[in-house]
Structure 1
Amino acid sequence: MRSTFMGLETSKRGLYTQQTALYTTGHNIANANTEGYSRQRVNLQETVSYPGVGLNNQSTKYSLGTGVEAGSVQRIRDDFVDRQYRQETSKLGYWTERAKTISQMEDVLNEPSEYGLSKALDDFTAALQDLTVNPENGGARSVVVQRGIAVADSFNYLHKSITQLKENARTEIGVVIKDANSVISQIASLNQQILASEPNGYTPNDLYDARDRLLDELSSYFPIETKNIPSGGNSATNAEGSVTVSLKLKDGNTVKLVDGKNFAQLRNTGDYTPDEDGITPKEMVTGFHIVKVDENGDDVPLNNDWTIEGTETTNKINNFSDLGKLKSLVNSYSYSTDGSGNQDTEKSLYSDMIAKLDQLAMSFAAEFNKLHIQGTDIDGNQGEQFFIPKGAIDGTEISAEGSVIAEDGTVTTADGTVIKPDGTVTKADGTTTKITAGNIYVSQDIINNPDKIAASDSAVGQAEPGNGKQSQKLANLKSQFLSSLEGSSVQTYFEGIIGQLGVDGIEANRMQYNAETLQQSVTERRASVSSVSLDEEMTNMISFQQAYNANARMISVIDEILDKIINGLGRAGL
């Protein structure tokens, strides 16, 4: 027969269990506004009945319950939704960064406006047309010089500004890699803490949440794949174990970044090589490799897919999926698809823009110089290069004073510098500099003496101060189709640059909006599963409170029964 005192134990268990449920409810309410917190639930389970069913208990036809206990405290989470969220976060990270990059370049180009390159070219053309009418007017010649300087300054500004944006991207690549490596090490540290507690039967829900927040952040940098590994020992059934984190590549392969308490670090590689034209040296990202950092802080190659017979190898950057902030930055900066260091400008936004501006400046200057050399100045002298690369190599200004001009317009200066009609400068030491958007400059000789502007089409030696026909040809250059600009004119080529940038911007903003919408949708689904509902928690609180009160009342009833048995029985006749 069951002891009367056993009812006290059953009710006591009920009190403790409902109290645990109330404490968990309070924890949920306290963290209702905590980012990344997952609501927790107490899993109630019956305790073992009495007496236990077995062969030695055949005289008992029934068993009595012994109450309830808190089997575990479980956080509510949907792993499938988490994976979806991280996929959308990687997409959003890529398109947000790309949209920002294009927006910054649009701000620099500032077209159409009263201060952009188009306006400078228009003003230069107008000044040349005025010179056609008044070729003897010194003021008109000075205006042409100043408008030419404005064109060169506009090219210089665009080149310098976009180059600075590119350098900023390079810096940010380093920051993102540093942040990603920090997150990777923190995930491994949390794995270590979880592995230390789970085998003892604990479920560190708050550590799980902290780890998931880090996984969410890591997925914004690049696409990841996760897999949970059981901790073993006396782990609870709802224990989540350690997490293995891998970097997902475009070819479908993965590379481990975190495996239990062990972790790797990301390093980028790059070769410092000049581009094909030898205009300016550019540093490209050629790939990434994974290393282990030893106790001295030195990189140690890992023995996995990223190594060959213990020798560290580099994964080509084009095998990175176009997902995440890191790849977007690399695409904007500059990279080599074959790992050789040769630049691929197909998706390198900054490098592609600089290359197009360089081509525009070089083609415009070359054609302008060609026409200018064919004309004569106010004194009947053959025209010289109007635009040259400023400083050539050493930062000094180039002067054609005392120079010899060949029939094709090539200028050889007194110090041995050779200036070709297209503006290419070869110094006496053999170093060569071509005109780019970054170094285009009006010849100092023409700046000092505007009479050297070749506005006339008269023969050399025949001064015709009133002849402005060559100036008209120079003015018409802006709208002439040039083979060096893919058959476009200077005007249409630049309009094409602006138009393509606008199209790319619209596409990036559209994809960013789509990614935000999808991420928001998944976020709402995630919240419906894991977030704290105060209405629900208040309902649970009332339910657990009433259950607690009922168990307390049960103890009072049993106390009255015991009092009756102890104090009220065995006193017959009194």
Structure 2
Amino acid sequence: MLSTFFGMEIARRGLLSSRAAMDVTAHNLANASTKGYTRQDPVFTTTDPYTMPGAWQKLLPGQIGSGVEVSQIRRVRDSILDQQVRGALGEDGFWSERQDALQRVEAVFPEPSDVGLGDVIGRFFNAWHELNNSPTDPGLKATVRETGQELAVNIRQTYTQLKDIKGSLQESIDLKVDQINAIARELAGLNREIARIVANGNQPNDLLDRRDLLLDELNGLVPVQVVVNKDETINVSLKYYDGNTEKQQSLVVYDGSYYQLKASIDASSDELSLNVLDQNGNQAVTVPWTAGSESFQLPGSLAGVENARRRVQDYMDQLDQLAYSVAAYVNNLHHDKYDGNGNLIIDVNNPDKGVDFFALTAPTYNDTNNNTDSDPLNDSSDYKKYDELTTGERDSYVKGYAGKIDLSDKIKSDVNNVNGDQALNIARLRTELTMSPDAAGNPTATFEAFYRGLVAGVGADAQGADHQVGTTRAVLQQLENLRQSVSGVSLDEELTRLTQFQYAFQASARMVTVLDDMLDTLINRMAV
């Protein structure tokens, strides 16, 4: 026969379970606006039933329930949605950084306008055309010199602005690596806390929420692979691109330990590497990590910054090419070395006729026989075309030239050194095909067309980034809404559940009252 107090125990368990459920609901309501919070749900489980012993047990209805308990407080989370959201966060981070950088680059090229480099190039060659009408006029020569100086200043300023943008992007890389290190350090600390709580048989829901929020932030910065262990701790490894395939690097977070990253950019190749440091701060592994090719982009804002940094360098290289080509073509004609058709002029009576218009001094060059030649470009008054230069000559001679282009000292000191005899030939350079050679090596663009192509490329890149940001933001918002519908807190739903648990609590309390009346009858009102 069951104990008279058996029903009291069932009611007690009901009271405790309902009270625990109301506490969970209150916790949900309190954190309805907390970023990263996951709705929690009490899991009710029937307690072990009571089996009445006795010879006649087989004739009885069977086991009698013993009540209810809250066996678990469950986080309502969809891991598949988490993966999708984190992937979208990485894409959004990449394109947002690229968009921001390209918007700054667009501001460097105020085209079309009367103060842009394109207009200055046109006025420079127009000044030579005017000088052709009166080749000895010192006023017209002064105008040529002034427009030449304006052209050089404009190119230098444009290059400096691009260089500053690139420098700020390099600083941004360091800041993002610091963010990654801070997240890794906190994840390692959470791993230790979570392992201890799980070992005690508890569920660290709020710590898991904090960890998931950090993983969201980390995936927005850099692509990572996350492995969840049996004790709810995680191992985090870095993904990188080696030029061919996506691979995974050694662990950044392992159990309660983490490994710091340090960014370094090779001075010669301009390649970014992430160095993995051990616990003592010593370099353990070097990851040749780049932002990938145009057809294989790594997600994350770090990759976006690196991609933008290299894109800005491409614009700087094109500006170098333009500056060098203008200087080399003008100097060759200004020396009276070539006529308007590119034919070499030999003047035996004046072999060193003319001076450099632009300062264009060749560097020291060592040939394969270790013989030093002060000029790999023939001589200082006979400059090769840009496309005739070797790769080494371009790197040592042309790279960075746009940042230092200037008039030669002789032109600056004496306007009479401006060669009016070549004014028409130099003016014709404006319409000559001098840039962008085809497969056969024949130039296909004028100086102005080449510059317009550079500006158009910047605009197209920026427009493409704007489009991608719009697309990725829409996808991210949709996925966030889906995740919020699963894991977010609905005030209406929680208040409804609160009422439900309140009535359950009242019912259990009423059961206690009924049992109390029964016991009072048994103890105090029945005759002995």
Q: For 2:52 and 2:110, how far apart are their aligned partners in 1?
A: 84
SS of residue paired to 2:33: coil
Q: Given the superposition, is the C-alpha separation of residues 438 and 563 from structure 1 closer, same or farther in structure 2, using an over 3 Å criterion?
A: same
1:531 and 2:488 correspond: yes
Q: Given the superposition, is the C-alpha separation of residues 436 and 253 from structure 1 closer, same or farther in structure 2, using an over 3 Å criterion?
A: closer
Aligned 1:396-407 pairs, distance under 5 A: none
Q: For 2:423 and 2:146, how far apart are their aligned partners in 1?
A: 15
SS of residue paired to 2:359: strand
Q: For 1:225 and 1:56, how far apart are their aligned partners in 2?
A: 61
Q: For 1:53 and 1:532, how far apart are their aligned partners in 2?
A: 47
Paired residues of 1:53 and 1:63 also in contact (CA < 8 A): no
SS of residue paired to 2:236: strand
Paired residues of 1:41 and 1:76 also in contact (CA < 8 A): yes
Deviation at 1:131, TM superposition (A): 2.4
Which of 235, 244, 253 is the matching residue for 2:247?
253
Deviation at 1:45, TM superposition (A): 1.0
Paired residues of 1:388 and 1:443 also in contact (CA < 8 A): yes
The gaps in structure 1 that reach 5 residues or longer are 232-240, 274-282, 302-311, 334-347, 394-407, 411-417, 425-431, 457-469
Deviation at 1:314, TM superposition (A): 4.1
Q: For 2:56 and 2:264, how far apart are their aligned partners in 1?
A: 74
Paired residues of 2:436 and 2:450 also in contact (CA < 8 A): no
Question: Could you say which residue in structure 1 is the equivalent of 2:234?
Answer: 243
State the AA in 2 paired with 1:248: K
Paired residues of 1:373 and 1:409 also in contact (CA < 8 A): no
Which of 368, 371, 388 is the matching residue for 2:359?
388
Which of 357, 370, 383 is the matching residue for 2:319?
357
Q: Given the superposition, is the C-alpha separation of residues 55 and 390 from structure 1 closer, same or farther in structure 2, using an over 3 Å criterion?
A: farther
Question: Could you say which residue in structure 2 is the equivalent of 1:266?
Answer: 261
Q: Given the superposition, is the C-alpha separation of residues 77 and 165 from structure 1 closer, same or farther in structure 2, using an over 3 Å criterion?
A: same
Deviation at 1:123, TM superposition (A): 2.1
Q: For 1:52 and 1:134, how far apart are their aligned partners in 2?
A: 123
Tell which deviates more after alignment, 26-35 or 241-250: 241-250
Aligned 1:157-556 pairs, distance under 5 A: 157-231=157-231, 241-250=232-241, 251-255=245-249, 256-273=251-268, 284-294=270-280, 298-299=281-282, 301=284, 312=285, 314-315=287-288, 317=290, 322-333=298-309, 348-374=310-336, 382-389=353-360, 421=383, 436-456=401-421, 470-482=422-434, 486-556=443-513
Deviation at 1:128, TM superposition (A): 2.5
State the AA in 2 paired with 1:361: A
Q: For 2:119 and 2:227, how far apart are their aligned partners in 1?
A: 58
State the AA in 1 paired with 2:239: K
SS of residue paired to 2:42: strand
Identity of aligned residues (%): 29
Greater share of helix: 2
Tell which deviates more after alignment, 548-557 or 532-541: 548-557
Q: Deviations for 1:191-244, whole angstroms, at most 9, x for unmatched residues? A: 11000010211101000000001101110122122221112xxxxxxxxx1112
SS of residue paired to 2:22: helix
State the AA in 2 paired with 1:172: S
Deviation at 1:57, TM superposition (A): 6.0
State the AA in 2 paired with 1:383: G
Q: Deviations for 1:249-307, whole angstroms, at most 9, x for unmatched residues? A: 4535323222221322223344322xxxxxxxxx623533433223xxx2252xxxxxx
Deviation at 1:134, TM superposition (A): 4.1
State the AA in 1 paired with 2:247: N
State the AA in 2 paired with 1:442: L
SS of residue paired to 1:506: helix
Q: Given the superposition, is the C-alpha separation of residues 561 and 122 from structure 1 closer, same or farther in structure 2, using an over 3 Å criterion?
A: same
SS of residue paired to 1:284: coil
The gaps in structure 2 that reach 5 residues or longer are 339-349, 365-376, 387-395, 438-442
Q: Given the superposition, is the C-alpha separation of residues 94 and 316 from structure 1 closer, same or farther in structure 2, using an over 3 Å criterion?
A: closer
Paired residues of 2:275 and 2:286 also in contact (CA < 8 A): yes
Paired residues of 2:240 and 2:289 also in contact (CA < 8 A): no
SS of residue paired to 2:73: strand
Q: For 2:200 and 2:267, how far apart are their aligned partners in 1?
A: 54
Question: Could you say which residue in structure 2 is the equivalent of 1:75?
Answer: 75
Q: Deviations for 1:155-197, whole angstroms, at most 9, x for unmatched residues? A: 1011111111111111111111111111112111101100001
State the AA in 2 paired with 1:473: N
Q: For 2:19 and 2:46, how far apart are their aligned partners in 1?
A: 16
SS of residue paired to 2:43: strand
State the AA in 2 paired with 1:221: L
Paired residues of 1:387 and 1:423 also in contact (CA < 8 A): no
SS of residue paired to 2:270: strand
The structure, 1 or 2, with the larger RCO (C-alpha pairs under 8 Å, 6+ apart) is 2
Aligned 1:141-160 pairs, distance under 5 A: 141-160=141-160
Q: For 1:54 and 1:188, how far apart are their aligned partners in 2?
A: 57
SS of residue paired to 2:452: helix
State the AA in 2 paired with 1:212: D
Question: Could you say which residue in structure 2 is the equivalent of 1:15?
Answer: 15
State the AA in 2 paired with 1:374: D
Superposition RMSD on alpha carbons, in Å?
2.9
1:125 and 2:111 correspond: no
Deviation at 1:509, TM superposition (A): 1.9
Q: Given the superposition, is the C-alpha separation of residues 511 and 56 from structure 1 closer, same or farther in structure 2, using an over 3 Å criterion?
A: farther
SS of residue paired to 1:441: coil
Q: For 1:60 and 1:300, how far apart are their aligned partners in 2?
A: 74
